[in-house]
Amino acid sequence: MQDSVQPAEAGVAPRVRRAVVIRKLQIGEIPKALGAGWNDFRTAPGYGLVVGGAHVAVGWLIILLVRLSGFHSLAYPLLTGVALVTPFSAAALYEVSRRLEKGEKLSWGAVLRSVRDSGGRDLGWMCLVSLFAFIIWVDFATFLYLMFYGLDMPDPTAFVQQALTTSKGIAFILTGNFFGGLIAFAIFSLTVVSYPLLLDRDVDFATAMISSVKAVRTNPLPMLAWAAVIAVLLALGLMTALLGLTIVLPLLGHATWHVYRAVVEPEPPPGGGA
């Protein structure tokens, strides 16, 4: 990817977009990123608790709506699918980590203003990508359920019992988790670097997604390990009646920023060369 020069107004020097350089990532950087993310959370816990608490509230609302509608089979894909859009909602946490890193002032106004000004329209496009992925996720889960169970809607207890004790139920779980994992990793590849990159650098959303995929292709094992850590921690959060997400989501949000810092070469200062 070559540096590009943006058109300049009269009397204004042209703006240069520096190429995004992907570095080799060691698996040992993953626990370091988690440690750094935990330190950021402890330093400014209010931001993470608000983001995590909002997700818990949304999760409880999903459970309530599923119970009222009777579509119990959608509870699991809806709750897990929310993870596909968390990179967007965690944008404030990336900005908090960036400000802590730079020693800049922290306030909700400054954080939200910076997210709006830095990401701009391209961050909105990335949000649409995440929402589209969520729709595909739910559509796939619905199709899979209909393929195995048809229009039969057992109560939650009977459904769980069937899923865990019958050959059809076990096949349903294995098939759903296998293909669901493939979808989740594809979305992970598109977003693991793109969201923090949009906040940190002057790039468009297409470049951000390409850079994210390149980061995963360059570092397949470390990125697979990072995806596994995310999956395990989110599963633990879901198993605590969602309450654990108030800690898990801020930790992952801050840690994602540090994974980004480890895998993407910092942008050189103006006039400092490519």
CA angle 240, 244, 250 (to 5 degrees): 160
What tens digit of pLDDT does each residue of 19-55 get? Answer: 889 999 999 999 999 999 999 999 999 999 999 999 9
Residue 274: pLDDT over 70: no
Mean pLDDT of 172-189: 86
Q: Into how many domains does the chain fold?
A: 1
Give the percent of the chain with pLDDT over 90.
Answer: 40
Run of H or E including 15: strand 15-17
Mean pLDDT of 177-192: 88
> How far, in Å, CA of 154 to CA of 44, rounded?
45
Task: Flag whether 120 is in a domain.
Answer: yes
Task: Flag whether 40 is in a domain.
Answer: yes
Task: Flag whether 270 is in a domain.
Answer: no
Torsion of CA 15, 16, 20, 21, to 10 degrees: -140
Task: Flag whether 17 is in a domain.
Answer: no
Orientation of helix 205-218 relative to helix 108-149, angle to 10°: 70
Orientation of helix 205-218 relative to helix 167-191, angle to 10°: 120
- Structural domain containing residue 161: 27-263
Task: Flag whether 41 is in a domain.
Answer: yes
What tens digit of pLDDT does each residue of 79-135 get? Answer: 877 777 788 888 899 999 999 999 998 999 988 888 888 766 677 788 788 888 888
- Which of 2-16, 72-86, 129-143 bottoms out in mean pLDDT, i.e. has the lowest? 2-16
**Is residue 29 within 8 Å of 260, Cβ to Cβ?**
no
What tens digit of pLDDT does each residue of 49-64 get? Answer: 999 999 999 889 988 8
pLDDT number for residue 120? 64
